[in-house]
Amino acid sequence: MDDIDAYLSAQTARFEDDLCELLRIPSISADPAQAPAMRAAADWVAGQFQAMGLPAELIPASGPPLVYAETPKVPGQPTVLVYGHYDVQPVEPLEEWLSPPFEPTKRGGNIYARGATDDKGQMLTHVLAARAWMATRGQLPVQLKFLIEGEEEVASEGLNAWLATDAARQKLACDVAVISDTSQFGPGQPAITYGLRGIAFCEIAVRGPRQDLHSGTFGGAVTNPINTLCKLLASLVDDQGRVTVPGFYDAVVPLSDQERKQLAELPFSDEKFREQIGVAGTTGESGYTTLERRWGRPTFDVHGIWGGQRESKTAIPARAGAKFSFRLVPNQDPERIIAAARDFLLTQCPPGIELEVSGRGAEGVVVPLDCSYMAAASRAIERGFGRAPVFIREGGSIPIVTNFRRRLGIDTLLLGWGLDDDNTHSPNEKFSLADFHRGIKASCHLWHELSKSTS
Amino acid sequence: MDDIDAYLSAQTARFEDDLCELLRIPSISADPAQAPAMRAAADWVAGQFQAMGLPAELIPASGPPLVYAETPKVPGQPTVLVYGHYDVQPVEPLEEWLSPPFEPTKRGGNIYARGATDDKGQMLTHVLAARAWMATRGQLPVQLKFLIEGEEEVASEGLNAWLATDAARQKLACDVAVISDTSQFGPGQPAITYGLRGIAFCEIAVRGPRQDLHSGTFGGAVTNPINTLCKLLASLVDDQGRVTVPGFYDAVVPLSDQERKQLAELPFSDEKFREQIGVAGTTGESGYTTLERRWGRPTFDVHGIWGGQRESKTAIPARAGAKFSFRLVPNQDPERIIAAARDFLLTQCPPGIELEVSGRGAEGVVVPLDCSYMAAASRAIERGFGRAPVFIREGGSIPIVTNFRRRLGIDTLLLGWGLDDDNTHSPNEKFSLADFHRGIKASCHLWHELSKSTS
């Protein structure tokens, strides 16, 4: 790989110029006024592929087009789907930016601009790695299929609709997907995110008397909707921090000894975690560490609750409600969990209360740590970053990963080049230029390692 | 009493004219623009006493003046404090009134106007009863001390401040108080309200992490303020509907067998109660009937709860809070109950949460059913209404009753001439003219019966 490494060293300035070009396009998908910028960004990305001699196309969608490009199939070698997005978040509050969001500015080894890390900078590492291979060898060692969308920040409606078509399934047929849109474990410590939690998001509506009642005249003889709501929500988790919905844990894949060992070896401090979020202590499911609770165990959290008045009015309110969710681990079925939670709550509903529980969900995913793709990615990252990655999970969901699993039947390698303090979605978004170049190098080696791993 | 009864019959039209005069004065204490009307109403009431030859005075207060008048002390006879108020509630929404709120209008045997029942009409029955005695006999058989305030609808600040002075205690020294500002048990069934619940009103504030956190990234490892709030509030009452705060029931005076028997004999239907409030069933403390739960047992009700967002945002909120109260029965000390509830909640507070609980309260009161005043009032009502009253309790608090007990050491007879559907505080407030006259007659007989009862 010396030829490619040498090419990368020689192209440093050019790569940064290319990144700045893309960052100057204000492709805010949430802003209808930026429709021309969306199209300009899509054209720019497609142009990159065309410039390296690859066929590229814009696939029409309900919103901004999808950019698609592919390299030729390499016999006996895997096909890899590379996903990214060219749209960015809004920039408000504008006055908090130290330099304008669409005038990329280098400060202290970072490039500051909206989209620097999320996801233009990270996505581009894979595009530029393909260019390096094409420029140096005239071909890729594996087949790459690039799918770069423009609606990631606004729920990917166009992509999701297209993914449900046979045409999409045929075009995207592949062995594994790669996404760089997450973070390293910390500065200088790259990571592979191999698991994501799913979610079952629910709303509960509690109805009691026809109208608010005076609690002096009626109190004690009327089932109070807020009292009831508190009792119902409190009943969903026991004193050990375990969810009480019958069957909730039936499908849970336990953390393996190997995973627990790896998580325990990560440089993580409970004390620093408490300082970070500003609490004196933490709680969670008994028998699990903080990282296990965040990444590998299901949860129950109420997100919003309402009912009655904030003033000092002594009424029994007619209505109350709440929104809550269970974060799920792989193998838990969100629809089943929602149905089981509804049944459990309904069986506890006291006389004088009407209850409605609705919900929607997304499945969690986990990529087997012992698969060959994972080993190849680990070696590639070690080459790119000079340090072997740690294997981490993420407590949230990335819907496209679930969708790739469902629609294409593939696993996704989440290779994050960003950092936790990159101000994603906030003013002064940044991306380390060193990590940008390390990411390109890691990507170049990834295609190499993936070809080795299956040969 | 024939002479007095005859006088009353002859004065029917005059009494109604007097009532209308007072009802025409828009004495809305919550409306600063009505300050002149407040003064006019006070003057009108004072003028009534002066017209019957009694000394009357306006006692200055921070707001509208208190009207005070008294009849001479009768040796060997009790002194009775008659309390009422000349201020009324606001009239909005004005468009729902069938006739203007300050143009008293007779329809179907009722007089419609703001203040008709609350409390100008009811208060006036006692003033006119005094006039009847003065006109007929030239004196009262017991000493009456009238105290008519103008801030009852806005928390009685002026009266409460004055009541705390020695001057007030000396001026108001008496044996028992009478208030007509409540309702009969039902049409044609007069009642004496002999018990009121107290209240311990609390606010709880729950603080968790410094700011809202992403429930995917952090969920499972952070104590959620809403989860905690629900668990804490749910812990305050058990499956039998009993409050779990240690010591909560220690001071509770149980309902006597006599009271339970009387309550059971009242014409009350659980089915009609459920229809009235629009619920399919009710719950409450095990082992008690609906009326016992409403009038004679303490409660726990949450009045308002808040935290997080109503949108579908999957955050762990930084804050949550609620307002709740315990309705108390006589002998329960609100301050002790608040302190015990705070201690109980604090001992359950999980790591990672800061908790604040504050509260304020009022004591419940009950007048012994077997006291001589009660028997006298019962006989007087039977004379006035043609039917013996039933003895009921009221689930709410009437702060002035607690204050009379605390400041003057006296019991209060709550003799309500109104009806539940009088639209107190609502558009189309009314008062039955028949009940107005029955109330005057009952009041005349009350002074007679009270003099007999101690002679």
Which chain B residues have a beta carbon less than 8 Å from that of A207?
Answer: none
Strand partners, A149: A85
State how far residue B342 is from chain A, nearest Cα, in angstroms: 18
The conformation of residue B120, written as its DSSP 8-state character, comes to I
Per DSSP, A183 falls in state: B
Tokens in use for B116? 């008709």
Read off the pLDDT of residues A101-155 as tens digits, 9 standing for 90 and up. Answer: 999 999 999 999 999 999 999 999 999 999 999 999 999 999 999 999 999 988 8
What pLDDT does residue A77 have? Answer: 96
Domain layout of chain A by residue ranges: 2-196+365-453, 198-252+298-362
pLDDT tens column, A366-382? 898 888 999 999 999 99
If you measure CA to CA, which chain A residue comes closest to B308?
A: A304
Q: Which residues pair with A61 in a beta bridge?
A: none
Question: Which secondary structure element, helix H or strand E, spans residue A322, and what is its range?
Answer: strand A319-328
Instruction: With a cut of 70, say whether residue A312 has pLDDT above it.
Output: no
* Interface touch A221/B322, C-beta < 8 Å: no
Token duo for residue A240: 């050990």
CA angle B7, B11, B13 (to 5 degrees): 165
Please choose, from the candidates A281, A290, A305, the residue with its C-alpha nearest in 3D space to the C-alpha of residue B209: A281
Q: Which residue has the tokens 């049409």?
A: B187
Q: Angle A384-A390-A392 (CA atoms, 0-180°, nearest 5)?
A: 125
Q: Is A146 on the interface with B (CB under 8 A)?
A: no
Looking at per-residue confidence, does B423 or B442 come out higher?
Answer: B442
Hey, are the CB atoms on B220 and A293 less than 8 Å from each other?
yes
Which tokens in the block code for residue A298?
A: 């299901």
C-alpha of A222 from chain center? 45
Q: Which residue from B minimizes the CA distance to A300?
A: B220
Torsion angle of C-alpha atoms B18, B22, B23, B27, degrees rounded to 10:
180
Give the rounded percent of residues in chain B with a pLDDT score beyond 70: 99
Apex CA A197: angle with CA A191 and CA A202, to 5°?
A: 150
CB A110 within 8 A of CB A417: no
The alpha carbon of residue B393 is apart from the nearest alpha carbon of chain A, in Å, by 10
Q: How many CB atoms lie within 10 A of CB A346?
A: 12
User: What mean pLDDT do residues B77-99 have?
Assistant: 95
Percentage above 90 pLDDT, chain B: 87
Nearest to A449 by CA among A367, A369, A374, A370: A374
CATH code at B198-252+298-362: 3.30.70.360
User: Which residue on chain A is closest to B214 by alpha carbon?
Assistant: A396
Are the beta carbons of B350 and A283 separated by less than 8 Å? yes
pLDDT at A455: 47
Least Cα distance to A431 among A422, A439, A420, A440 occurs for: A422
The 3-state DSSP class for residue B309 equals coil
Give residue B417's pLDDT. 97
Residues 6+ apart with CB under 8 A from B217: A294, A394, A395, A396
pLDDT digits (tens, 9 = 90+) for B313-345: 788 999 999 999 999 998 999 999 999 999 999
In contact, B111 and B20? CB cutoff 8 Å: yes
Give me the residue label for tokens 């409190």. A234
> Which residue among A298, A302, A351 sits closest to B281, beta carbon to beta carbon?
A351
Say whether residue A319 is in contact with chain B using an 8 A CB cutoff. Answer: no
Q: Is the pLDDT of residue A159 over 70?
A: yes
Among the partner residues B273, B306, B317, nearest to A303 by beta-carbon distance: B317
Three-state DSSP state, A193: strand
Q: Which of A210, A303, A353 has its CB closest to that of B314?
A: A303
The verdict on B298 touching A (C-beta cutoff 8 Å) is yes
Q: For residue B312, what pLDDT is reported? A: 66
Pairing of strands B143-149, B213-214: unpaired
> pLDDT tens-digit profile of B197-255?
999 999 999 999 998 888 988 999 999 999 999 999 999 999 999 999 999 999 998 99
Q: Which whole number is the average pLDDT over B113-135?
A: 98
Please tell me which of the candidates B201, B221, B279 has its beta carbon nearest to residue A284: B221
Question: Considering Cα of B418, then B419, then B422, then B425, what sign does the dihedral take?
Answer: positive
CB-based contact, B283 to chain A, within 8 Å: yes
For residues A269 and A312, the answer to whether their CB atoms sit within 8 Å is no
Q: In B, residues 397-416, which contact A (CB 8 Å cutoff)?
A: 397
pLDDT at B288 over 90: yes
B455 in A contact zone (CB under 8 Å): no
pLDDT recorded at residue B212: 87
Of A227, A294, A320, Cβ closest to residue B221: A294
A111 has a chain B CB within 8 A of its CB? no
- For B295, name the nearest residue in chain A, comparing CA atoms only: A217
- Residues B180-209: pLDDT tens digits? 999 999 999 999 999 999 999 999 999 999
Which pLDDT tens digit goes with each residue over A69-112? 999 999 999 999 999 999 999 998 899 999 999 999 999 999 99
CA distance A215 to chain B (A): 7
What is the mean pLDDT of the segment spanning B136-146? 98
Look at A222 and B320 and tell me if their CB atoms are within 8 Å. Answer: no
State the smallest CA–CA distance between residue A231 and chain B in angstroms: 5
Report the pLDDT value the prediction gives residue B244, as an integer from 0 to 100: 98
* Helix boundaries (H) for A177-269: 215-218, 225-234, 257-265
- What pLDDT, on the 0 to 100 scale, is given for residue B455? 47
* Mean pLDDT calculated for residue range A270-286: 96
Which H/E stretch holds residue B125?
helix B121-137
Chain A residue numbers with beta carbons less than 8 Å from the beta carbon of B316 are: 301, 303
Interchain CB distance below 8 Å, A351 and B280: yes
**Are B310 and A323 an interchain contact pair (Cβ–Cβ within 8 Å)?**
yes
Nearest-by-Cβ selection for B224 from A218, A280, A301: A301
Spell out which residues of chain B touch residue A314, defining contact as CB-CB under 8 Å. 199, 201, 301, 303, 325
Q: Mean pLDDT over all residues of chain A?
A: 95
pTM value is 0.84
Q: Of the ranges A175-179, B122-126, B245-249, B393-397, which one carries the lowest mean pLDDT score?
A: B393-397
User: Does residue B268 belong to the interface with chain A, where contact is any CB pair within 8 Å?
Assistant: no
A66-96: b (≥16 Cβ within 10 Å) or e:
bbbbbbeebeebbbbbbbbbbbbbbbeeeee
**Non-local CB neighbours of B317 within 8 Å, separated by 6+ positions:** A303, A304, B208, B212, B224, B225, B226, B307, B308, B309
pLDDT (0 to 100) of residue B437: 98
Mutation for testing the A interface, residue in B272, B290, B312, B314 having most A CBs under 10 Å: B314
- The answer to whether the Cβ–Cβ distance between A213 and B395 falls below 8 Å is no
d(CA B52, CA B407): 30
- Tell me how far CA of residue B297 lies from CA of B280, B303, B332, in angstroms: 22, 18, 11
For all residues of chain B together, what is the average pLDDT?
95
User: Of B194, B95, B132, which Cα lies nearest the Cα of B413?
Assistant: B194
Burial class (CB in 10 A: 0-12, 13-18, 19+), B31: middle
Contact A277 B219 (CB under 8 A): no
According to CATH, the superfamily of the domain at B2-196+365-453 is Zn peptidases (3.40.630.10)
**How confident is the model at residue B454, as a pLDDT?**
59
Q: What is the ipTM of this complex?
A: 0.85
Shortest Cα–Cα distance, A113 to chain B (Å): 23
Does B323 contact A303 at a Cβ distance shorter than 8 Å? Answer: no
Out of A379-393, B96-110, B423-437, B441-455, least confident range: B441-455
Residues of chain A with Cβ-Cβ distance to B218 below 8 Å are 277, 294, 395
Rounded to whole angstroms, how far apart are CA atoms B337 and B359? 10
**Peptide bond before residue A420 is cis, with ω within 30 degrees of 0:** no
| Inter-chain CB proximity A277 and B237 less than 8 Å | no
CA B452 to chain centre: 29
Residues of B in contact with A420 (CB under 8 A): none
Higher local confidence (pLDDT), A399 or B312: A399
Nearest to B216 among A197, A210, A211 (CB): A197
Residue from the list B201, B306, B314 with its beta carbon closest to the beta carbon of A312: B201
Q: Which of the residues A210, A285, A302, A313 would you substitute to probe the B interface, choosing the one with the greatest number of B C-beta atoms within 10 Å?
A: A302
